Each structure stands twice: as C-alpha cells, then as structure tokens.
Structure 1
Amino acid sequence: MSTIEEELPMHLRGNWAPLQDERTITSLKVTGTIPTELDGRYLRNGANPITGFSDHPFLGDGMIHGIRLRDGQAEWYRNRYVQTPFIAQPDREVIDMEDSLTDMTSSKANTNIVGHAGQILALEEGHFPYVLDGDLDTVGPTDYSGKLTGSFTAHPKICPTTGEMVGFGYSLMEPYLTYLRVSAAGELVQVENITVGGPTMMHDFNMTENHVIFMDLPAIFDLELAIKGEMPIRWSDDYGARLGVMPRNGNDASVVWYDIDPCYVFHPMNAYEEDGNIVIDVARLSHIWRDGPMDFPEPALHRWTIDTASGRVTDDRIDDMPAEFPRVPDDRVGVKHRYGYMMANAAASAFEEPMSANGAILKYDLETGKRTSVEVGAGRLPGESSFVPKANATSEDDGYLMTYVFDANTDSSEFAIFDAGSMSNDPVATVELPRVPFGFHGNWVPSATAD
C-alpha cells in the first residue's frame, strides 16, 4: 500500500476505493451454469464519491452495480452513478441546513435499490427515491405525484401477499417520523405523522402480517454538528429505547410503545406474529457513534419477543458471531421464517486487510438453532446476499443466494450464485467481473417486477 493510500480513511482505500468510470461489459466469462429460470437483474448500491473523497462512509455518491441474467446467460454488467444533483455539482455541500437537508431531491441515493410497481428505486433515507430504468440510467426523483413531501426510508418492506410497500421517513424537524404506505400499483395511499420523543436516526423498521414496528433508538440528531457540516448524529444515554407497534393501516393514536434496553439496530432480519406475540430478529449493536462517527461496535443476531399482553420485551442473543446484513426470502417478509441469512463480519479489520480474511455467508435455522455457512475462501469477501427461490421450490430454503464477492488475491470481483439449501462452498455459477467496491444493499429484481 502506498503512503498516499495509507493517509486515506479506510472507506476510501483498498476495495472501498471509488471507481472513476462507468462501464458496460457484455462479454462475460461464466463458470458453472446459470439457472435458466433466473430472468432479471441483480442490483447493488453503494457509496462511490465522484470526487474521489468523502468525509464518511455514508456520504459517497450512489453507484449501482448490476448484472442482467436471462436464458442462462449473463447478458451484461453495468455500473452507473445515480444522477442526483451531486453528480452535476460535485462541490455541492452534503450537509447543509439551507439546502441539502431540506431539498428532498438532494439525495446521495447510495444505500439500497428495490423493484416495486414496475419501477426500480435507488434509495437513501434522507430524501426522495430516485427512479432508474432497466439499463440503470436515471429517470429522476419521485415524490409520488406530489403526495410525498419529506424523506423516504432506504428500507421499505414489500408485502408478499398484497404487494403494497410500507415505509417511513424521519426528519431533523417536526414531524420527526412519518409513516408511508404505497399500494401495489405504486400510489402513495397513506401518509401518517407519528409522535416520537425527538429527532432520531431510524435506519430501518419492521413489518408483520398486520402491523409495522418502529424502532425509536438513542441515535439522535445534533443541530450543532449539522451546522458545522459534520455527520449530525450522536449517541444519547438520556434518550430511551423503545419499539412502537401500529396496525399497517393505523394512525398515531393506535401506536403502542414497548420499552427495551438501550441499543441500536441498523437492520432487522424479519418480524412476525405468533400466539399474540411479535417476534423480531435483528442484528443488534450495543450502541453507535458514542465516541464519534466511526464508532461501530460489532453486531450480532438477537431476538426480541414482544409480549403484547404483559407489555414486556425479552431480548435473547441467538449467536455470538459478529454478523450483519440479515435477510430472509422475499416471500417470508412479515411472516414466520425458519431460515435467515447474514454476512459474516468478524471485525472491521477484515475489510481493512482482506488478504487475511476468510469471508462467509451465514445461514441460520431458527428452528434447530443450527448455523451453517458458505465459505468463499482466503482473501475473499462476499457482500449482502439476496435469496431467490428456485422454480417450483419445495421448501423455504430451496433457492439461490447471490452476491458480489471481492477477491483480494487478484484485486477483482465476481458475481456468485450459491445453493441455499445445501450451502455448498462450490458455487452454482460465477461471472468474472472487474473490481466491484464494497457497498451496502442489493436485491434481485425479476423482470416481472420491473424491466
């Protein structure tokens, strides 16, 4: 590593280093056999600062890395910037009380990407969604025909039964929290302000068959930090932690709040209702950003069980292994799941020194308590995995796990498809790619959902 690289913060060096160009590659080498039933796009979002520099891992410009599968072929790989105002104006202030924090089109669009109601949406929780077309070109921001006036979460939940998409927005100013519900046809049909104790960073939330559950946790906005142009969020030992349960078509008056021990959760695995209780599996951290904006304790899988009769919440640690980016199959979102998948995250050092890492995809059987894994090899690290069911699947885990895998040995990447049932280390298929930087969230978007 050069002296210049060593002087850069971790999120800008090694495989975090931003790419400088957008590429389209149509001649792709495939090893193994891509299942012919896979017709769609695997898309992954991440922060890739167009200037080559950002003050924090969360503040880079959104770049989508996508691969198109059809008829057993990998037709193309593309990487494209989401064309937000920051691309045309690279010197635009990221944290600006008079502009970027109030202009809802001023998004980095760098966190997640989902398909819903015939659209592909690039998401970042502080602003409007950005719509992309099937070639990953930017159509533009959407405010759902003027009905959306504030931010939209990077982590909406799409109901596998109704097709509706539920989400929320949070704000530095009142109303601090707003619940949002989008119909299966893509119409914003409900906007409901929710009363909370103050402005908090609510990164994600939960959905069950009949309810949504807000996580009101002690990561609060700090106006003085925002005025300085710094990451405007800090940990508070004075702000309590609680879960708010509301019917999916409910309102502020119908929210029931349950106190929990202070902690932070970026990402839940799933939530469901059982015997009058609500069960939520989460990647739980003891806190965030107490000692500064890079204070990230190691997360691990926990289970919250809300006893709605007694008002008590139990917190059970399922595993001691540090892990993040929990997922379930899309058709299990909001209903009881047996299996969940996570990215092994032994320590931040794995991403600082990937040559010494041994990356893995974890699979949890929540009925037996058994954990299995796909080991991707020395010096290799996978990202978050998306589950795609096989045609005529016969069990919940009868499907594929797909993700990008970075290989520090060759400074290159591959798109990999693994068998979720067997969790074999041998991929079903791989597609050779140039280096794909580490990123945040990805999803399989079938052609039937958005093309």
Structure 2
Amino acid sequence: MNTAPRHLSGNYAPVTEERTAHDLPVTGTIPPELNGWYLRNGPNPADAASGHWFFGDGMVHGVRLEGGRAVSYRNRWVRTTQLTDGARPYDAQGRRDLTAGPANTHVVRHAGRTLALVETALPYELTCDLDTKGPYDFGGRLTTAMTAHPKTCPATGELHFFGYGMLEPTRLTYHRADATGELVLSRPIEVPGPTMLHDFALTAGHVVFMDLPVVFDVELALTGGTMPYGWDDGYGARLGVLRRDDPYGEVRWFAVDPCYVFHVLNAHDAPDGTIVLHVMRYPELWRRDADGSTREQRAVLWKWTVDPATGAVHEEQCDDRAGEFPRVDDRLTGLAAGHGHVTSGTSLVRYDLASGAATAHDFGPGRTPGEAAFAPADDTPGGRGWLVTYVYDAAADRSDLVVLDADDLAAPPVATIHLPTRVPFGFHGNWLADRAGQALPTGVRARRRGTGGSATTGPGRTRHTHGGA
C-alpha cells in the first residue's frame, strides 16, 4: 500500500534520472513554423522527499522542435546551492542567503538569458543545454528575491518584476530591467504585513500589486515541512496601482473582497480610464482548522475593473469551472487580449475575454494537461498559433507533448510528441522560439553528427463593487 503523501505519489512523484533522447516519435504533423524549445519547470526533489509540493528541487523538461521534427527531449535539475550544498534561506542569525532556493517554479528568457525562477530566491541561469550556470543577480544590482512571474512589456522589451521577503524590513520591492538586461529600477513599497505575493499585473500604463490575506506565520515556519503561510481574516485585501511613468510616485490602494490569487491571466488599460484584470480567484486559501488541517479551495476566472477616478473596484465572476495556470499570447501582456487559456482538470479551456464564451479541449479520462504556453505562427500579436503542453497519461504512466490549434481548440491535436519518460506535474514554462544566430543546444548538434540518446541518474456570476482609497 502506497502511504506516501499526495505530492510525492503518482505523477507528482519525482523522476530519478536526467535523460536525453533524440528523434522522438510523433503522431500527427508538427507545424513547420515551430522552431525552438518548449521548456517547463517544476518541483522534483532529488532525495525523493519534501515537506510540501512547493519545496521540491527544480527540474526543467525541454523538447526541441525544428523543421517539423521533434529533435530531442532532455530534463535537468537546476543545480542550486540548496540542491548541491544543502544551503538554507536563513542562517541561525537570521541572515538571508538569496542563492538558497529550489528554482522550481518558472523558466523565462530575457536579454538572451534563460532563467529558472522561484519567488524566494535569486534566479538561476541555464545554458541552452539546460545545464546550470549559477545564480544570477543582474551584475550585483538585485539584492532581493525575484518573483517567478516577471512580465515583459511588448512595447519596450523591459522586464518588470518584484521581490518580497518575510523577515526583511522592506517586504516588497518593485524592479525593472531594460531590454538589454540591465537592472535600472528598484523601488521599495510599504505594505503592512508579510503576505505571499506570488504574481502581479502589468498594463501599458500601470503596475498592479495584490496584497491579499495569506500571511507569513513564524510558528508554522519553525515547525518545518509545511507552507509557512495561512489565511488571516483580519488582514484585508487590496490592489496597489502604480503608474509606470512615475515609478517612484504614489501607490494607490483599492479594496477588494477577501480572496487569494496565485495567477493573473492578463490586464490592460481600458479606453474609459479603468484598469481591467482577469485573474484566477480563490475565495480563501490555507485557512487552518482547529486540528491544523486546511480546507481545499478551487480557483475560477474573475474580472476586476479598477476605476482610479472613483476609487471603486467592480468584481465579476466570469465562469464557475475550476481551473488554474492562465495564459495569453505573451506578446499581448499588458494589452487588451481577445482570448485567454486555462487548465481545468483533463481539459484546456479557451475564453473569449469580451463575450465570456468558452471552448474546451478534453484530453479524455486519465490524461491530464499542465499549463499551456502559446506558440505563435507569425509576427502578429494575438494572431494564429498553437497551445503547447505536457499531458500525462495515467494508463501508460508516460507523458506526451501535445500541440493544439489555439483557434480550433475542440479539434483533435495537431501533433502529439511521445516522450521517453513521464513528466511529473509541475508549474510554469514557455515556448522559446529560435532567434537569428542563436546557438543550437549541444544535443541537437550531437544528433546531427549521429549520436544517440542517453539517460543518467541525477542527484459563476457574482458582482461586487467596492469603494477604495
């Protein structure tokens, strides 16, 4: 009888090998426009144990597509100081080690660097082979942790992000790096308590922070083996709006109903002067009962409309199906997007963000998709493209990389790339298209020389309106 915790069982359980495989079998036809890597990060504890799903060591799984072929697959642990040296975020004197984190939540590319992210530590830079180069602190300028959900402005190429801490005097710092990768702005923002700030929103004119009532608990942190955060009825919930053209100016705070949001689908400035956000909203998170247990909650899609002129926030539930991992065409980050995509059980759901209509692709019983990244077919933001995601097949205990037509989501998959192993359930990733002059990974070069693959063992509809400041 399997007595392992849920986050270490089934397809949550870690894989124990780092593998490289070439010329993957394909059902269907890979679109020839797809040339690049699909990378996805997630927790994969190297010692096959961790106290919580969020704590496992990061492992990046990547599939290389080129010229209509599935050229290669590889998976690699992110070799952080936590993994290699057992480093911990704080020492006995309470001093912070920003290199000590699992780097297990996201993988992004900015200014030619591929970065594995977790919100509690510095990024780790990866090579195009997914080997670890080491922690990256923007040339010594980044002195806080970095969110796992940075946003790239499609107009300026700037990378917007923040860092937060639990024990530091400055609990929230907003950062901005220019298109060349230079960190050009770090601005502290006062918040009343050490809340868990996982994501934020960016528009063409604003940055929006979410200060919500999931608060750091020192006693939970000292016990270890559990999330050191819990629901706080007394904290309140609010959105902080900062103008991008006045980054050191006032942050205006707007009250919302108590809730928690891990992930923002997208946000934009509306023609009437309001700010519109679509988010995956939990009614509460990690409320602990008298016996210490927490209540399971599910997120659904909501729309928040912030009116800076009146100080009001209009809140509207868009759907009643549970889901997570919302994504848009990243080239529309901060702009009005026609559609967004959410993972819901065995389905991917495409929402028309204007009408609220939804179309789903159901993979069938026992086949569970992860987050789906949008891979564009051309240079037109919001134009034609595909959704790319790992799908776990419980009956076969294996995983596929599946390509769907984003404009015809209910249709059968365009292509299914069969992987040599399962990919454990994880968090976030991206389609990283090739660029002119970009070096190919070593595995691709090797395959073109005729070498083979290898495996190695590794270490609704509710509406509310609020007045606000």
Length-normalised TM-score, structure 1: 0.92
Contact 1:11-1:56 at 8 Å conserved across structures: yes
After superposition, give the CA deviation of every residue in 1:134-155 in whole Å (9 maximum; x if it has no partner): 1100011111111001100000
Instruction: Please show how residues 188-227 of structure 1 align to structure 2 within 5 Å.
Output: 188-227=183-222
Structure 2 match to 1:161: 155
How far, CA to CA, are the matches of 1:284 and 1:198 in structure 2? 21
TM-score, normalising length: structure 2: 0.89
Aligned counterpart for 1:256 among listed residues 247, 252, 273: 252
CA distance 1:98–1:70, shift in 2 (3 Å): farther
From 345, 348, 364, give the equivalent of 1:377.
364
Instruction: Specify the code of the residue in structure 1 equivalent to 2:312.
Output: R
**Shift in CA distance, 201/52, structure 1 to aligned 2, threshold 3 Å:** same
Whether the 8 Å CA contact 2:302–2:317 is kept in 1: the answer is yes
CA-CA distance at 1:27 after TM superposition: 3.0
Residue 58 of structure 1: SS of its match in structure 2?
Answer: helix
1:215-364 paired onto structure 2 within 5 Å: 215-229=210-224, 230-274=226-270, 275-291=272-288, 295-345=295-345, 359-364=346-351
Equivalent residue for 1:419? Answer: 405
2:89/2:100 contact within 8 Å kept: no
Quote how far apart the aligned CAs of 1:409 are: 1.4
| Larger RCO, structure (CA 8 Å, separation 6 or more) | 2
1:20 equivalent among 13, 16, 21: 16
Aligned match for 1:120, one of 114, 131, 144: 114
After superposition, the Cα gap between the structure-2 partners of 1:161 and 1:94, relative to the gap in structure 1 and judged at 3 Å, is: same
1:410 maps to amino acid:
A
1:186: how far off?
Answer: 0.5
| Stretches of structure 1 lacking an aligned partner (at least 5 in a row) | 346-358
**What is the CA-CA distance between 1:252 and the residue it aligns to?**
5.0
* Aligned: 1:103 with 2:97: yes
Q: Which residue matches 1:152?
A: 146
Q: Distance in 2 between matches of 1:72 and 1:101?
A: 51
Q: Which residue of 1 aligns with 2:457?
A: none
CA distance in 1, matches of 2:222, 2:233: 22
Is the 8 Å Cα contact of residues 84 and 106 (structure 1) preserved in structure 2?
A: yes
SS at match of 2:221: helix
Do the aligned residues in 2 keep the contact of 1:59 with 1:94 (CA within 8 Å)?
no
Partner of 1:396: 382
Q: Distance in 2 between matches of 1:101 and 1:206?
A: 30
- Partner AA of 1:285 in structure 2: Y
What is the alpha-carbon root mean square deviation over aligned residues? 1.7
Q: Do the aligned partners of residues 29 and 99 (structure 1) sit closer, same or farther apart at CA in structure 2, a change above 3 Å counting?
A: farther
**Structure 1 residue aligned with 2:422, among 400, 424, 435?**
435
Amino acid in the other structure paired with 2:339: Y
Tell me how far 1:388 sits from its aligned partner. Answer: 1.4
Question: Per-residue displacement from partner, 1:238-270 (whole Å, max 9, x unpaired)?
Answer: 111100000225345421111111100000100
Over 3 Å counting, the alpha-carbon distance change for 1:20 and 1:240 in structure 2 is same
Change beyond 3 A, Cα 1:59–1:70: same
Counterpart in the other structure of 1:350 = none
Contact (CA 8 Å) 1:101, 1:126: kept in 2 or not? Answer: no
Which amino acid letter does the alignment assign opposite residue 307 of structure 1?
D
Cα offset for 1:295? 4.0
Kindly, what percent of the aligned residue pairs are identical? 48
Classify the secondary structure of the residue corresponding to 1:226: helix
Task: Say if 1:152 and 1:249 are closer, same or farther in 2 by CA, change over 3 A.
Answer: farther
Q: Does the 8 Å CA contact 1:287/1:296 hold for their aligned counterparts?
A: no
Mapped partners of 2:388, 2:99: distance in 1: 31
